[in-house]
Amino acid sequence: MGKFLRHILLFLIATVAMMAVLDVCYTQIFETSPPRSKFQLLRNLKGQKIGYAFLGSSRVDNDIVPELIEQETGKKSLNLGFQASKMYDIHTILRLLKEYDVQSDRVFVQMDYTFNAGGHSNMMLHEVLPFIRDNEVTRRHFAVLPDHDALYYVPFYRYAAYDFKIGFREMMMNVLHKRTALALSGGYHPVFGHEQKENHNTLPDTIWKSNPYFDSIRSFADKNRLDVTYFCAPFDTKTKNIGYVKLLKGKIPNLRDYSQSIRDTMSFANHFHLNDVGAREFTTQFIRNELKKKAP
């Protein structure tokens, strides 16, 4: 019996040791490889200065073209919009700009119906996960998950549990330095074509009294003297309850309203998101109205 228990103990020790080695190897690869994900782009800018940072959801991810901004202003910009991001995620990214000492002349935060939403973006969680131990900000971002302690403390658990996103295949893509189009375009994720879906065309008809994470964003920006501008990206003119934007402006009086600035339906992939043609048109508008007048 004692010999059997010793074998079990040795097996457990060997397993934990192997998991620890794999954890170190995977993490080192993600940390040192050329950026593939948007979060790696941000992390790779530690200690650097950029012109403009754009924070938000897919309505930044699909709508802001950093390449055009750099061409027109001569300043580097970064699209930090994550699919399905909520105020919780935007607050984390804003804090990470400070944590990673990424200095930006101006920060733009896209506001819309997410003011009426709690929760978080799974897409962003997956991208941050290899770096959960980077600092207290990345660690606390996972506090919303029931297994957050296991993700942080158990070696290799996060890579095994989320193998479909950060497992062997993604690790090998990093080893082979396979860059993504997104990483090469400053975080811009273009959408092509035009496909209107009737089940995704209506804004809320009421607005929350407040959003605690938006309050945290504004408080953090004020405390750290960040030049933050809030804006609303375009909606298709056929979007229902467009009056919601007026309610949003009641909560954010200095909101820059571009909700109806693109009038051609064919410039939209759907009611809420621009396609590549529309994104370039909107980015050009934004440069003219918001950036060039402050650019030196």
Half-sphere exposure in the Cβ direction for 155 (13 Å, CA): 14
Window from 96-100, 179-183, 263-267 with minimum mean pLDDT: 179-183
Residue 186 lies in a domain: yes
What average pLDDT does the chain have? 95
Residue 186 has pLDDT above 80, yes or no: yes
Provide the number of structural domains found in the chain. Answer: 1
Distance CA 106, CA 77 (A): 10
Distance CA 218, CA 232 (A): 16
Residue 10 lies in a domain: no
Residue 6 lies in a domain: no
Counting beta carbons within 10 angstroms of the beta carbon of residue 8, is it exposed (0 to 12), middle (13 to 18) or buried (19 or more)? exposed
Residue 8 lies in a domain: no
Residue 166 lies in a domain: yes
Question: What's the pLDDT band for 199 if we cut at 50, 70, 90?
Answer: low
Residue 16 lies in a domain: no
Length of the chain: 296
CATH (domain of 125) = 3.40.50
Per residue in 24-57, pLDDT tens? 999 999 999 999 999 999 999 999 999 999 999 9
Half-sphere exposure in the Cβ direction for 196 (13 Å, CA): 15
Domain that holds residue 224: 21-291
Residue 13 lies in a domain: no
What is the predicted pLDDT for the residue at 194? Answer: 87
Residue 215 lies in a domain: yes
